[in-house]
Amino acid sequence: EITEGELLLDGEHANDLQPSEREMAMVFQNFALYPNMTSRDNIGFPLRIENPGEDRGPRVDATARMLGIEDLLDRYPRQLSGGERQRVAMGRAIVRQPTAFLMDEPLSNLDAKLRNHLRAEISTLTRELGVTTVYVTHDQAEAMSLGDRVAVLRGGVLQQVGTPRSVYGLPRNVFVAAFIGTPRINLLRGMVRAPLDGAMSISLGRQYLRLPEPLSLDHQMLRVQQGREVIVGLRSEAVRIAKPGAARPGEVPISGLVEHLEFQGHEVLVHFNTGSQPAFVPDLEAPYPVRHVRRRRRDGSVLGRIRERAGALRAGPVVVLDDPHDEQPEQPAPAAQESRLPGDLVVRTTPDIELRLGMQIPLLVDLAHLFVFDQHGERISPAAARLPDLDE
């Protein structure tokens, strides 16, 4: 049951429509196949319900050919592998010829290799069919590779919707920035320094990022944050290992102590200690509801609706510079363990650079890829208007 808001399908109000009237087909996480039916009967079951007297054979056979499962039609679910069951489940959805698909984490029960293979199949299939598909997933790789538009939810509240490129390249808040991207974005506590008679910079504890002059418009706008704590976001590709003399325009130097190395084959992830303090992002691993869900009102005053929407806005990102677990020191804070991982800055580099634990390494930060968020986690730099090509 819808608790709040409006559901429109092709512009038509669909809140009170019965499932059979919505012309949508669903693919479930657990396949939801009838164990006493063959694959042929499972695929044809929706047709049997809609038109009991219709010959289902041709449409079932055509769907099976499309999915390459003709040889599985006479088998029962117990005789199928996980990937084969999911193909049959997809066939049951496709055979209805719906106006939209809803896929609820369809690959989460499969092993990694099979997930990658079926992900490519789903991408090809949905484009060939030309049917709008809503794909629910906790796997950002699936979302970014399959979606034309990505919607990020936190505790049931929409945080951002946009193209994969815009969500990654211009995250609206610190939760989206940390949720999207591998390895996770570096989030450091900082302080804006904007003296009237000196260079503007962002302090990161023992080091600082000096903003080059003339200041860009985005950096000029940071002056209003003078003396305030902010959150600095740097993705691993925004920092490179190089001496200050090799700096390109827009790059500024810092240094870091090597604390951990992750060899990935084609690259190495280096964990540096720069003397900075990581910012804490609540409920990133296991999001919880940030507000009580209210039953949808069928009527009400305009003022009441405005109040409800204001409440939804307030339910956005919470303060991330204050660890909520500090109020109860006797209880462990599992989410805060992230700040105790080796180092505070993760940088990608090539495997041909020899690094050892304990080495002090010069780094260059590309300020063109610097994100700055306020104390409540909202992005304040860069401004959306400065990057129109990202289609935010």
- The segment with the largest mean pLDDT, out of 3-7, 282-286, 303-307, is 3-7
16 or 38: which leads in pLDDT: 38
pLDDT, position 364: 97
Tell me, yes or no, whether 39 and 129 share the same domain: yes
Q: Is residue 309 part of a domain?
A: no
For residue 114, give the CATH number of its domain: 3.40.50.300
The answer on 247 and 199 residing in a single domain is: yes
Residue 175 lies in a domain: yes
Domain that holds residue 99: 11-148
Tokens of 201: 């910079």
Would you tell me how many other CB atoms lie within 10 Å of the CB of residue 138?
10
In a domain, 79, yes or no: yes
CA 278 to chain centre: 20
More confident residue, 310 or 84: 84
Please indicate, yes or no, whether the overall pTM of this predicted structure exceeds 0.85.
no
> Does any domain span residue 115?
yes
| Number of domain units in the chain | 2
176 and 124 in one domain?
no
Q: Which of 110, 133, 148 is the last residue of a domain?
A: 148
Mean pLDDT value across the chain = 83
| 93 and 199 assigned to the same domain | no
352 and 221 within one domain: yes
Residue 15 lies in a domain: yes
**What distance in Å separates the CA atoms of residue 14 and residue 12, rounded to the nearest whole number?**
6
Residue 329: pLDDT over 70: no
Q: What is the mean pLDDT of residues 152-179?
A: 93
Q: What letters, b where the CB count within 10 A reaches 16 and e where it falls short, cover 148-158?
A: eebebebbebe
Q: Residue 271 sits in a domain of what CATH number?
A: 2.40.50.140
Asked whether residue 22 falls in the same domain as residue 67, the answer is: yes
Stretch 95-123: mean pLDDT:
89
Residue 297 has pLDDT above 80, yes or no: no
Residue 52, pLDDT score: 82
Whether pLDDT at 386 is above 70? no
How many Å apart are CA 24 and CA 53, to the nearest integer? 22
Cβ-count burial of 280 within 10 angstroms (0-12 exposed, 13-18 middle, 19+ buried)? buried
Same domain, 144 and 200: no
78, 216: one domain: no
pLDDT of residue 360: 97
